Structure 1
Amino acid sequence: MDPITFPTERGLFYGGQWHAPLQGDSRRSISPATGEDFGAVAIGGPEDMDAAIAAARTAFPAWRDLTPRARGLYLRQAAQVLRDNKTELARLDAAESGNPFAAMLKDVDIAADSLDYFAGLAAETKGESIPLGPDAVNFTVREPLGVVGRIVAFNHPLMFFGAKMGAPLAAGNTVVIKPAEQAPLSSLRFMELIEGLFPPGVVNLVNGGVDAGRHLVGHADVAMVGLIGSVPTGRAVMSTAARTIKPVMLELGGKNALIACPDVEIETVARGIVAGMNFAWGGQSCGSTSRALIHADIHDAVLDRVAELVEAFVPGDPTDPATTMGALISADQRDRVLHYIATGKAEGARLVTGGQALDGPVPGQGNFVAPTIFADVTPQMTIAREEIFGPVLSVIRWQDEDEAMRIANDVEYGLTCSIWTRDLVRAHRLARKAEAGFVWVNKAGPHFLGAPFGGVKQSGIGREECLGELLAFTREKNIHIALA
């Protein structure tokens, strides 16, 4: 394999230039799969955020005043940079995040497609006219908000960094992005590749920790903040944003249900359950269907087949195209997952397979946990109620449809739900009852550009990957002209 291309620049990017952090802070980037040290990365603090926000604010008027088509052309060029450097970026992303190279290739495609999608929507920030008779003209216009802050997560580092700048930029805002603190290298490399593409101050990157993120959210010159993260982080962001009365877009956690009805084919639904769990990412996906509610008539057969299918997920070097399962992002996250597994056993769940830490490509190194399946799980068990963010599937047997929906909805989350049935009437009935923002029928896992993605209850606020995301980064203004 070719050597990994690491970013030359390890600092902060704002105002069109690279900067060292004002306090000189840094952290080591360590491979979660092998323990390899990838070197130091700058960590910005509140003062660095101030500088980046000031640069974004200075750049905003000129960017706002470009035509939508002109802004779209910039986004299309950034998308092409992603495609031209797809393999390089995917290998770097895999090395640092621990996710398999094959999956990271798809992430680069998703980021590029998202930029293209919002480039095409840039002119859709339209207003409307309101008829008030012959003596007046009344209409609305949509205007960009100003400086937008975005904080992205570690499970899809490059995809989130690239994709989540699309909607605010297309709408005419400038952005300050805080990449995933645990895996910033692919974002830094992408920033190197697009350096000089956007006007100075339009796209800014400040890597940092909690203090930097809190300062970004609370800054008076930041008009809106978008977060992809955990529910506790979402609550903290809402609380901080409230001080300056700014809107937030939150894509948070999930404890998502997959409901298998008795009329489905065993092999089909078993493969759907495995796909929905995102084992390739070690289960590190907020949309993972980590609760499989299987009807009693097919329960045993489906469970046996799922246990066989997960044997295909084997830890390995994440940069190797043949690797099927990645590492958890850190030793702390590995230990957290193992604690949940111990809790499941203690509360009486039956361990079907997995349940242990695994060696990766380097003996004694790597944050790997075997794909884990628990059966005989009851709805009140901890592993059936709390988001584990690891490769742990809880299987729950059901007999009555109303009971199944009660179990599916009886958690604080409401991100996704997957329903498996050949009965069209039942599919509509269950989809309508599901307390989730995104429902699949006979599918689990994929997103579709143009289809709104987002949660209800504690799983978030707002919808992404659609026209609604673009419009969320604008505000309506009414203009009334008296003609008489």
Structure 2
Amino acid sequence: MNTVSDNQQALDGLLKREWKMLIGGELVGSLSGETMATASPHDGRHLADVPLAGTDDVNRAVDAAKAAFPSWRDTPLVERAALVRIFADKLQERSQDLGLLDAADVGNPVTAMVGDVNIAAEMLRYQAGVAFEVKGSTLPSPNRNWLVTRREPYGVVGRIVAYNHPIMFAASKIGAPVVMGNTLVLKAPDQAPLSTLLLAEIVREVFPPGVVNLVTGTGAITGDALVKHPDVKRLSLVGSVETGRRVQAAAASVGVKQISLELGGKNPMIVCPDADIESVIQGAASGMNCHWCQGQSCGSITRLFLHEDIHDAVLEGLVTRLRSIQIGDPLDPTTQMGCLVSQQQYDKVAGYVQAGKDDGARLVTGGGRPRGAQYEDGFFVEPTVFADVNMGMRIAREEIFGPVLSVLKWRDLNSVIEQANGLSYGLTGAVWTNDIKTALTVAGELDAGYVWINGTGSHYLGAPFSGHRNSGTDSEEGIEELQSYTQLKTVSIAL
């Protein structure tokens, strides 16, 4: 296992490069020469200056993708899939470098970020394989005609990814649109662009020029130009509800576009009195996603509904478990929890902690920066748990996007289901019980796109992940994602 010193030395070597975007198969800066800085959230160290793509840069990326589309569309599926598999292999060959960049850039533990690369590679291989199952149909006809459907690519696709898992999102989001014959312009996250720019070097080795284009910049400038480009008919976003609504409005201002959104959540975990207490403690701690991204995940469990019979036992055990998490330098392989991505996010989380106190919730553990000189310069927040929470409080109603859990006590099952569904979010949910009837009943009643029974957090290849209501549209991670990057055409053949 590498030491902190080993990782720091390797990171220093990686940072000694000129950071370039990928447009039309070439590594380029912005036309204006403008750059934006990225810094370590762990210690404030300046990491790099990356291109700030303006409207002209987005236009040339879309033009490159548009020029590459006819040839890529006509490339046999077996060849497109083979290139995606090669891409997955080369991605894993650079897993340590990519994981180091994400750990430095976003503050997540390096071990988890190397794991993110492996997850992305697995997803790419899955997409390359399941692409052959995206098919048309033969339909009954009222006469002797043949009616058939076929699935065709859109053309140029735009994707905008989030900062909490930069390389996992950037790499895995290439597979579905590209293997289905589209060309792509992908915008890296504002806060953590470095791994995407290293990814550009890998992409350039694998795909023909213009098939995949990677740009960096801000949401207000770069993202807006991509969303509003008239030649981008298909878009997807991983981000907040507010950003999703802005993307929908901006896209609609210039035309009709197909848009997939994976947005925020305020995800409930309902624990019944017959559930195993130790398993619940483990599941709740894991579901907070402290070990992976400091709670900065749309799928994190953030509302824990505990039946009154086991409330105190679970709460006590959960606090003990969370206090044992090793918080530290993201580059340290032994670190279990890193820091938040930015001062802005740190201030946001701190504001919600204060709101919880002001509203009368009981702070059980955490709520601030860990003690010690090693935490003074970074955006560290301890795992935080509030008890005596009710649904009138802000911490129970609004997405915090940090390691903050609200614990609510319940007695009546129908009432707790109503509370769980009482917000505009509907991303994930969980129910814990040993009674199969109760488990399936609650899972059926929860208005969420992904529900775990006696589990939290795990994703499985081929299982679609999607949100209900304000938490998103369409499904990803399954065959449905690949289908969504095709347009359905009906062909009537007169005999």
- Name the TM-score, length of structure 1 as normaliser: 0.98
Distance 2:325 2:31 in 1: 44
- Match among 257, 262, 266 for residue 273 of structure 2: 262
Distance 1:164 1:39 in 2: 24
Q: Give, as a single letter, the amino acid of the residue that structure 2 aligns with 1:28.
A: A
Distance 2:18 2:66 in 1: 24
Distance 1:223 1:6 in 2: 36
Matches within 5 A, 1:116-195: 116-132=125-141, 135-195=144-204
2:17 counterpart of 1:6: no
Distance 1:430 1:360 in 2: 44
Q: Please name the residue that 1:217 is paired with.
A: 227
Question: Cα deviation per residue 1:361-391 (whole Å; 9 max; x = unaligned)?
Answer: 7453100111110000001100000000011
2:350 counterpart of 1:338: yes
- Aligned residue for 1:96, secondary structure, equals helix
- Aligned residue for 1:164, secondary structure, equals helix
Distance 2:128 2:174 in 1: 11
The Cα of 1:360 is off from its aligned counterpart by 7.4
- Match among 218, 221, 238 for residue 228 of structure 1: 238
Matches within 5 A, 1:287-436: 287-358=299-370, 362=374, 364-436=376-448
CA contact (8 A) 2:203 2:212 kept: no
Q: Give the aligned length.
A: 483
CA contact (8 A) 2:465 2:476 kept: yes
Q: What are the ranges of 5 or more consecutive residues in structure 1 without an aligned counterpart? A: none
Q: Please name the residue that 2:3 is paired with.
A: none
The Cα of 1:134 is off from its aligned counterpart by 5.9
2:87 counterpart of 1:93: no
Distance 1:153 1:360 in 2: 30
The Cα of 1:91 is off from its aligned counterpart by 1.6
2:230 counterpart of 1:242: no
- Match among 120, 138, 149 for residue 111 of structure 1: 120
Distance 2:133 2:79 in 1: 14
- Aligned residue for 1:358, secondary structure, equals coil
Q: What are the ranges of 5 or more consecutive residues in structure 2 without an aligned counterpart? A: 1-5
The Cα of 1:460 is off from its aligned counterpart by 0.3
Distance 2:174 2:18 in 1: 20
Question: Cα deviation per residue 1:266-310 (whole Å; 9 max; x = unaligned)?
Answer: 111011000000012111000001000000000000000000000
Distance 2:193 2:160 in 1: 12
Question: Cα deviation per residue 1:108-130 (whole Å; 9 max; x = unaligned)?
Answer: 11110111011112222311111
Q: Please name the residue that 1:439 is paired with.
A: 451
CA contact (8 A) 1:409 1:435 kept: yes
The Cα of 1:229 is off from its aligned counterpart by 0.1
Q: Give, as a single letter, the amino acid of the residue that structure 1 aligns with 2:432.
A: W
- Match among 34, 56, 68 for residue 77 of structure 2: 68
Q: Which runs of 4+ in 1 moved over 3 A?
A: 358-363
Farther-moved stretch of structure 1 (31-40 vs 47-56): 31-40
CA contact (8 A) 1:316 1:361 kept: no
Q: Give, as a single letter, the amino acid of the residue that structure 2 aligns with 1:476.
A: L
Q: Give, as a single letter, the amino acid of the residue that structure 2 aligns with 1:455.
A: G
The Cα of 1:359 is off from its aligned counterpart by 6.0
- Match among 441, 447, 452 for residue 464 of structure 2: 452
Q: Please name the residue that 2:212 is paired with.
A: 203
The Cα of 1:168 is off from its aligned counterpart by 0.4
User: Alpha carbons of 1:335 and 1:126: their partners in 2 closer, same or farther (altered >3 Å)?
Assistant: same
CA contact (8 A) 1:171 1:470 kept: yes
The Cα of 1:133 is off from its aligned counterpart by 5.5
CA contact (8 A) 1:360 1:368 kept: no
CA contact (8 A) 1:138 1:480 kept: yes
CA contact (8 A) 1:317 1:360 kept: no
User: Alpha carbons of 1:88 and 1:155: their partners in 2 closer, same or farther (altered >3 Å)?
Assistant: same
- CA-based RMSD of the aligned residues comes to 1.2
CA contact (8 A) 2:390 2:396 kept: yes
Distance 2:373 2:110 in 1: 15
CA contact (8 A) 2:271 2:305 kept: yes
Q: Please name the residue that 1:56 is paired with.
A: 65
Q: Please name the residue that 1:283 is paired with.
A: 295
- Aligned residue for 2:111, secondary structure, equals helix
CA contact (8 A) 1:454 1:464 kept: yes
Distance 1:315 1:478 in 2: 56
How high is the sequence identity, in percent, across the aligned residues?
Answer: 47
Distance 1:386 1:342 in 2: 14
Q: Give, as a single letter, the amino acid of the residue that structure 2 aligns with 1:185.
A: L
Q: Give, as a single letter, the amino acid of the residue that structure 1 aligns with 2:193.
A: P
CA contact (8 A) 1:419 1:430 kept: yes
CA contact (8 A) 2:131 2:479 kept: no
Distance 1:147 1:312 in 2: 48
